[in-house]
Amino acid sequence: MMNPPLPRPIRVLVVDDSAFMRHAVARVLSDAPDVEVVGSAADGEAGLRLARTLRPDVVTLDVEMPVLDGLGMLRRLMSETPTRTIMLSSLTTSGAAVTLDALDAGAIDFVAKPSGSLSIDIGRVGEELLLKIRTAAAMPEAAFLAHRQRTAPRIAPRPGGEAGTAGTRSPAAAKTAGAAAPSSPRVAARRLVAIASSTGGPGALQAVISALPARLGCAVIIVQHMPAGFTASLATRLADSGALPVSEAAGGDIVGEDRVLVAPGGQHLITSVGGRVQLIGLPPVNGVRPAADVTLRALAPIWRERLLTVVLTGMGTDGRDGAATVKEHGGTVFVQNEATATVYGMPRAVAEAGLADRILPLNRIAAAITEWAAESAGAKASA
């Protein structure tokens, strides 16, 4: 009997201006039996030419490059030869801002280089890079098409300059930089919404937060899987996208009504009984920190029926065990549906465990949150 043919390996194009980094990334990827590096390029223009010729399954793309930088290449790639892309980003404030620009422009995910642009220790994040390449390659074609359609309005060149100019501050950052910081709340909210997300999360969060009203009647906590530094940039962008003030959480912050707090990368977030934020440096859970399961398990016994959990796009199962605890204490759970999720991992885990009260398309989630907040306030008033 003939053995069945082996599955075709994932074909990857590596684009980085550093010859050392191209070699190091290729070496890390070539050690995996299911990945084949089919080419490499030193700048965005060469990367575009190879992408058209080789038609790789996934591109790994550096941000800072000559001739045409990573963001400029990504925007043209998504317009001309749409390809699943993972960004390689530096762990800096400017690197975080440009990385979020890249996610806006259609990148599936990113991996932070452990020690700057020239990371001789890139092997430290090799498993993370491989996992994200596999996740991107496994996206159904319909999901990738929907992802492209959501990001298409954001890939056009920006007024006043070439699209994708690295180091240019985003409109969100520019607008927020001049705004006065809102005063800190003195009293904790009566109701709380906890949103969990991972791969595809920044775009999904922007869609949800931008559609929430200024008078929501509850507090919002976001747990997005991101390294330290990136969550501050995410909070800045979310603050610019809608009516609610958004900030990166700090220890001692009060979970206030009509405010959004983003759990900082590298720390788990919980709250005290009185509604004050506590940040803890325990080891990663589910391979991530912050982890939604840590936050939800801590919040559920405190907030009980006053807690709504929303699980958005992301790979893995983080949020499932926490959602179970939320349900045990009388809380409510919504999840994003498969058709609108970039990666239907986290929401699937919750839905298949029978924990979801509602399974919703992304464009219905903000309205459902608003309805829940109003109904919860009404129930409290009539009690």
Quick: pLDDT tens for 4-55: 666 889 999 999 998 988 999 999 999 999 999 999 999 999 999 999 999 9
Under the banding of pLDDT at 50, 70 and 90, the label for residue 220 is very high
Q: Mean pLDDT over residues 126-143, rounded?
A: 93
Is the confidence at residue 160, as pLDDT, over 50?
no
Enter the CATH code of domain 10-154.
3.40.50.2300
CA-to-CA distance for 175 and 20, rounded, in angstroms?
38
pLDDT on residue 156: 55
Fold of the domain spanning 187-382: Rossmann fold (3.40.50)
Pairing of strands 192-197, 35-41: unpaired
Mean pLDDT over all residues of the chain?
Answer: 88
Quick: pLDDT tens for 225-277: 998 889 999 999 999 999 999 999 999 999 999 999 999 999 999 999 999 99
Is the confidence at residue 2, as pLDDT, over 70?
no
pLDDT on residue 12: 98
pLDDT on residue 168: 38
pLDDT on residue 125: 81
pLDDT on residue 264: 97
pLDDT on residue 379: 67
Is the confidence at residue 178, as pLDDT, over 70?
no
Q: Give 289-325 as a DSSP string.
A: SS-HHHHHHHHHHHHGGGEEEEE-SBSS-TTHHHHHH
Is the confidence at residue 195, as pLDDT, over 60?
yes
Quick: pLDDT tens for 268-319: 999 999 999 999 999 999 999 999 999 999 999 999 999 999 999 999 999 9
Q: Mean pLDDT over residues 359-375, rounded?
A: 97
pLDDT on residue 342: 93
For the chain, residues classed under CATH 3.40.50.180 are: 187-382
Is the confidence at residue 322, as pLDDT, over 90?
yes
pLDDT on residue 129: 93
pLDDT on residue 201: 96
Is the confidence at residue 193, as pLDDT, over 90?
yes
Is the confidence at residue 98, as pLDDT, over 50?
yes
- Greater confidence (108 vs 122) lies with 108
Strands (E), the chain: 10-15, 35-41, 58-62, 84-90, 109-113, 192-197, 219-224, 246-248, 260-262, 268-271, 277-280, 307-311, 332-336, 358-360
Q: Give 28-63 as a DSSP string.
A: HHHTSTTEEEEEEESSHHHHHHHHHHH--SEEEEES
Is the confidence at residue 117, as pLDDT, over 60?
no
For the chain, residues classed under CATH 3.40.50.2300 are: 10-154
pLDDT on residue 67: 86
Q: Which residues are catalytic?
A: 198, 225, 318
Portion of the chain with pLDDT greater than 90, in percent: 73
